[in-house]
């Protein structure tokens, strides 16, 4: 008898994929810089927290960039219920120093950066003339 395997996936509704969503987080969200990445976040009215990742070609080849993205997605998937307070859109921009960093180091860095993000003062939005 075959055992049923539970699929531990990163669901589409937990991903930030559209460019306007990224732009909104960059423009109106809070920012926390660490040694390995810059974390942006903004509270939303979505049902679930969402994660967006940017890993530029400066980081390395496709294999290295995809490894970093896989690590962050796994950390977010496993720890979002404990790391994240309510629905939030997060964007992580990797820095060059992220190469050759272990899963545990990134997990710890993200765990330290998220509370700083929540404690940051709200950024004032400029009024629009439209």
| Alpha carbons 83 and 67: distance in angstroms, whole number | 21
Residue 87 resides in a domain? yes
Domain CATH number, residue 99: 3.30.230.10
Q: Label residue 23 exposed, middle or buried (CB < 10 Å: 0-12, 13-18, 19+).
A: exposed
Domain tally, the chain: 1
User: What is the per-residue pLDDT across 22-75, written as a single tens digit (0 to 9) for each?
Assistant: 999 999 999 999 999 999 999 888 888 889 999 999 999 999 999 999 999 999
CA–CA gap between residue 127 and residue 41 (Å, rounded): 20
- Look at residue 81 and tell me whether its pLDDT is greater than 60: yes
Q: How confident is the model at residue 130 (pLDDT cuts 50, 70, 90)?
A: very low
Q: pTM for the full model?
A: 0.81
Residue 104 belongs to a domain: yes
Burial 92-114 (b: 16+ CB within 10 A, else e): bbbbeebeebeeeebbebbeebb
Edge-first strand listing for the sheet containing 37-43: 30-33, 37-43, 88-94, 50-54
Q: Is 86 within 8 Å of 46 (Cβ atoms)?
A: no
Task: Please indicate, yes or no, if residue 128 is contained in any of the structural domains.
Answer: no
Residue 89 within any structural domain of the chain: yes
**Domain extent for 107:** 12-119
Residue 5: predicted pLDDT = 53
In a domain, 2, yes or no: no
- Residue 30, in any domain of the structure: yes
Q: Is residue 38 part of a domain?
A: yes
> For 94-103, how does the pLDDT look when each residue is reduced to its tens digit (9 = 90+)?
999 998 899 9
Q: Residue 18 domain-assigned?
A: yes
Residues forming a β-bridge with 92: 39, 53
């Amino acid at each position: 008898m075959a055992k049923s395997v539970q699929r531990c996936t990163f669901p589409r509704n937990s991903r930030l994929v559209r460019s306007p969503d990224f732009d909104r987080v960059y423009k109106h969200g809070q920012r926390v810089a660490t040694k390995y990445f810059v974390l942006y976040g903004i509270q939303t009215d979505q049902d679930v927290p969402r994660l967006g990742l940017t890993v530029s070609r400066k980081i390395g080849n496709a294999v290295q960039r995809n490894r970093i993205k896989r690590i962050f997605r796994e950390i977010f998937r496993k720890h979002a219920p404990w790391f994240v307070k309510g629905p939030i859109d997060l964007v992580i921009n990797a820095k060059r120093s992220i190469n050759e960093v272990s899963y545990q180091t990134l997990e710890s860095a993200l765990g330290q950066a998220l509370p700083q993000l929540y404690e940051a003062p709200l950024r004032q939005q400029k009024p629009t003339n439209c």
